[in-house]
Amino acid sequence: MESTDIKSRVCFYYYYYSLGGQRKNYADILAKVNETQRGNLRNRIRKWEANSSSNERVIQIRPVHGTTGKVDQNSNSTSNNAMSQPSSAYNSLQRSNTATKINVSPKCFGTTQYVHKDDYERERQRWQQKLDETEGKLADAVVSNADMLQLKAELNKKIVEFEKNQRPLIEQNRRLSDRNRLLQQEIKKVEEKLCHAQDDYLTLKDSHERLGKENAILKEQRAFPEKLKEFERYRHQVLEYSKCITALRTAGLEKDRRYELLVQKFKRLKKCLSKQNGDEEDRQSNYGSEGSAESCSISLDTITEDLDETEPLSLNFSFSDLLKFESLSLSDEQLLKEQLDCAHATIAELQNALNTQTMRSDDNTQLLKTIARQQEQLIKVNKRCESLEMELANSQERNDLLEFQILELQEFSAGRTTPTPFITASVETDKYVDIDDCDIIAYAKLDPQTVFKAKNHLREMRRLAYLTEDDREFLAIVLQHMENLENKITLLETEQNMTRCELKRLELQKQDEIDELKRQLDEFSSKDKKKKALQQENEKLKKQIQKQEKLQEELRKKFQANEILIKEKNDKISQLENEIKNAYRCSEEKENELKRAKMQIEHLQRQIEEITKNHLADLEATKKHFEDRLKESFNFKNDLDKMRIAYDKVKEEKAQLEQKLQTFQKQSQEKIQKLDEELQNVRSAFDEERRRLEEEIKKAKTKNTELEKSNREYSNAYAKMEKEIAEMKKSMNAMKKTHEQKLEDLSKKNQEALRKEKENNEKLRKELNDENEKLKKQLAEAYVEMEDLRSQIRPIGTQLERRYEEMRYRWDESLKKIHNSEKLLKAANERIEELEAKSKSVESYVQEIEQLKTYNHELEEQFNAQMDIIAALKKKFIQMNGANNNKDHNSSESVGWTSNSTVNSLDDEVYSSEGSGSFKESRNHA
């Protein structure tokens, strides 16, 4: 890096001043520089060194555009000319506020420059050393690059070999993943059912708790004597209101009756005046009769029509009196209506309260009944499951017993291979009786009780007197043979129980293996947690980078403060320029100082460019490091996928074993069916042989040898069965061992993968710590260099200001580049976070569900609180209505005209219902 920077710097300054000191972009100048131009420049420097004389103390260089430099020894004449005639090629900034001529300093290329010989040699040696160092570093880099390529090739070979070795595990993992997927689907279905059941249970539980609380509150209300007193008071109020309602109804009826009488009286008077005939006394006697009121009932519309027709002057007085009476009656009607409405409203509210309480109690009882019903159903289901399990166990035991009985009968039938001559009863004697074979076939399936009875009957037959000794001996042999068969059956049953126990043990082992596989899945989940921890560490590193950015901003602020100070110093320099006009004789000395300052500024510019390039290189290195880490994370994910594929393969092998077991069970069931059929055939053959034995008792001596042979064959067959059972046990043990070895290999591989992951994580941590330390060191060095540069800055004239502006411009450009690189890094980090967020989508969905549950719970609490508030407001409103009704009741008692009368109550009930409805509507509106 240093060699390339030095070469680029030399070429940059050469082309910068060869173009006449014009302000060009850094990129445009570097675009012209290539390797051939660097070689030409190097040759020029060597020629310049060869042409320089050893005796001269001062060297003058005059490079021309596109030509090599020339050395002049006439230093005095050229120096005077150079000082007096500045070059016009340099496009310098001009100050408008100064009236005098600006002193332009000599340039590095295109004009004369005086350099001391010792300084020149020192600089040459320094540049030569740097060139040598850069060439050595380039050679080292080439060697290291070759080594890295070799390592890369070796690693690629190892990766290919590793992939070849992992192919069977990948297939196993794929099979296991398929099996796991099916199991997960079944588990999801079961979980959904369980969730629905839990939701139903929780709803019932919540309703039960709520109703229990309400029931407890009601019990408390019933228990306290104060509440009982309140209930009694409410009852008395209801009774009083009912009395008030009846009184108001009677008053209304009386009012209506009086109104009708007045209307009739008014009509009679009108008729009397119109006719002016008739006896007034007779007419007046009929005014008070109720029959005349009923017969002469007239509507208000007819009254208005009659009034419109005839309006005599004599009726004005009576009409005004009637209007006064009607106004009084209307005011009374309004009061009565309001009282009735209030009474109806209070009654309706009390009835609603009683109805709600009764409904709640009914709901409580119904919920309790439903809960009890569901509990009973659960108990029944559990009992049913237990009974089914018992039936399955019994059926399995019966099947096993049948298998062994069939085997025994097969062996017994094999022992009876030699045919016996069939002799009919009519050949020898007449002692025997003809018996049908159907009777024997009917006893093919015997119970243990019938067998026991048969044994007792044989023992009794042996004790009969008319039998011979040979017959008794044959009967004893048959009984002994039956007992031997029973003993063998018991032995076979014990062996069957042993095999069943072994099968159960194997099932338990399989269950343990499944548990181990689940545990391995949990370990994989723990690995995911470790990945999350690493991501958190990455976030911490990002925060540290942000802190470093903050430090950079602080440095910028300090730099701005320094700029302000420099501006103040520039102001001072502008003040000093007026003094410089008077002291023109000291201009030559100041020009020398300006030359020195120019050299210092160039040195500062070089240092600043080196710092910026180093910072950019560090940023590129960090970017590459982050990319490498991303590649490692992708490799880690691929390894995890491979392990999952291996796990799926193991699961598929397990599924294949289960399928084999199922096929074996099916085959065993088919064999059992076949053996049942053979058992029936054997039983029929056994019955025939038994009949033959009863017929051939006399020839039993000759058959004893045959029985002994059959016993020997039976023993051989039993030995064969034992050997087969032993072989089956060995095969089962071998299968078990292979399965255990596979599980051990998987566990070892998982442990190795975990160990590798831990090592990689530790390496990453170490690398990150080293990088942090390097960055801290670089920052410290930058601080030191900045402080050194600040200490070296001196108050210089207008040329310094121009150089300072150029330096600031370049610094701003470098900062912009740094900001762009930082933005790219942020974009990459955001992309990484998006990918991580996608992997965490399941967790986000779970969190959203939990939030919805909490939100639902909060809404329920708010709803309950609002219901409590509404209940309290109802109570207050009932109390307010009670107070108003008491006042209305007192006002109604002050009315003196009440009487008892009975008229049609239908209209009154309609009237009262309309009033209560209007009151409810107004209340709801409020």
What CA–CA distance (Å, rounded) separates 640 from 83?
77
Calpha distance 301→708 (Å, rounded): 133
Q: Are 485 and 408 in contact (CB under 8 A)?
A: yes
End-to-end CA distance of the chain: 86
Does the structure show a pLDDT above 50 at 356?
Answer: yes
pLDDT at position 614 is 72
Q: Does residue 652 contact residue 180 with C-beta atoms inside 8 Å?
A: no
20 φψ region: left (φ > 0), alpha (ψ -120 to 50), beta (else): left
> Judging by DSSP bridges, how do beta strands 114-116 and 58-61 pair with one another?
antiparallel
- Are 318 and 269 within 8 A, CB to CB? yes
Q: Report residue 913 as tokens.
A: 């219902």
From 517-526, 546-555, 587-596, the region with the lowest mean pLDDT: 587-596
514-530 confidence digits (pLDDT tens): 777 777 767 767 767 77
Considering the chain, what is the average pLDDT of its residues?
67
Contacts of 471 (CB under 8 A, 6+ apart): 697
Closest by Cα among 912, 533, 534, 605 to 789: 605
The arithmetic mean of pLDDT across residues 659-677, rounded, is 70
Residue count (the chain): 926
What is the model's pLDDT at position 565? 72
- 307 Cβ neighbours under 8 A, 6+ residues apart: 319
pLDDT confidence bin for 274, thresholds 50/70/90 = confident
Question: What are the angstrom distances between the C-alpha of 151 and each of 144, 154, 625, 626, 639?
Answer: 10, 5, 19, 21, 21
Q: What's at 909, amino acid-wise?
A: E
pLDDT band of 336, cuts 50, 70, 90: low
Query: Between the CA atoms of 867, 868, 873 and 878, what dihedral angle is there, to the nearest 10 degrees?
Result: 100
CA 762 vs. chain centroid, Å, equals: 30
**DSSP helix/strand/coil, 72:** strand
Query: H-type helices in 416-468, by residue range?
Result: 437-442, 448-462
User: How distant, in Å, are the alpha carbons of 9, 411, 616, 618, 807 from that of 609?
Assistant: 9, 104, 10, 14, 10
Quick one: average pLDDT of 55-78? 40
Q: Mean per-residue pLDDT for 617-637? A: 70
In the numeric block, the tokens 């050395």 are attached to 71
pLDDT digits (tens, 9 = 90+) for 108-146: 444 556 778 888 888 889 899 989 898 888 888 888 888
Determine the angle formed by the axes of helices 587-695 and 798-839, rounding to 10 degrees.
Answer: 10
Tell me which DSSP letter residue 74 carries.
-
How many Cα atoms sit within 13 Å of 610 on the Cβ side? 19
CB atoms under 10 Å from CB of 651, counted, come to 24
- pLDDT tens across 778-791, in order? 777 776 776 776 66
Rounded to whole angstroms, the Cα distance separating 306 from 271 reads: 10
Letter for the amino acid at 532? K
Task: State phi, psi for 423 to the nearest 5 degrees.
Answer: -120, 125
- Rounded to 5 degrees, φ, ψ at 58 are -125, 135
Question: Which helix (H) or strand (E) is 58 found in, with range?
Answer: strand 58-61
| Burial (0-12, 13-18, 19+ Cβ within 10 Å), 10 | middle
Q: What is each CA distance from 21 to 17, 25, 109, 768, 786, in whole angstroms?
A: 5, 12, 8, 45, 27
Could you give the CA distance from residue 692 to residue 422 in angstroms, rounded to a whole number?
Answer: 7
Q: What pLDDT, on a 0 to 100 scale, did the predictor assign at position 919? A: 38
Phi first, then psi, for residue 712 (nearest 5°) are -65, -45
709-713 own/partner pairs: CB under 8 Å, 24+ apart: 709/415, 710/412, 710/415, 710/416, 711/415, 713/411, 713/414, 713/415
pLDDT in tens, 154-209: 888 888 888 888 888 888 888 888 888 888 888 888 888 888 888 888 888 888 88
Listed range (433-442, 549-558, 670-679) with the worst mean pLDDT = 433-442
| Beta sheet of 114-116, edge-to-edge order | 71-72, 58-61, 114-116
Indicate the DSSP class of residue 106: P
The DSSP symbol for 698 reads T
What single-letter amino acid sits at 464? L
pLDDT range class, residue 763, cuts 50, 70, 90:
confident
Q: What is the pLDDT of residue 127?
A: 92
Q: What per-residue confidence (pLDDT) applies to 505?
A: 79
The pLDDT tens digits for 133-143 are 988 888 888 88
Indicate whether 912 pLDDT > 50: no
Distance CA 530, CA 761 (A): 9
pLDDT band at 58 (very low <50, low <70, confident <90, very high): very low
φ/ψ of 701, rounded to 5, equals: -65, -40
Query: Does 709 score more than 50 pLDDT?
Result: yes
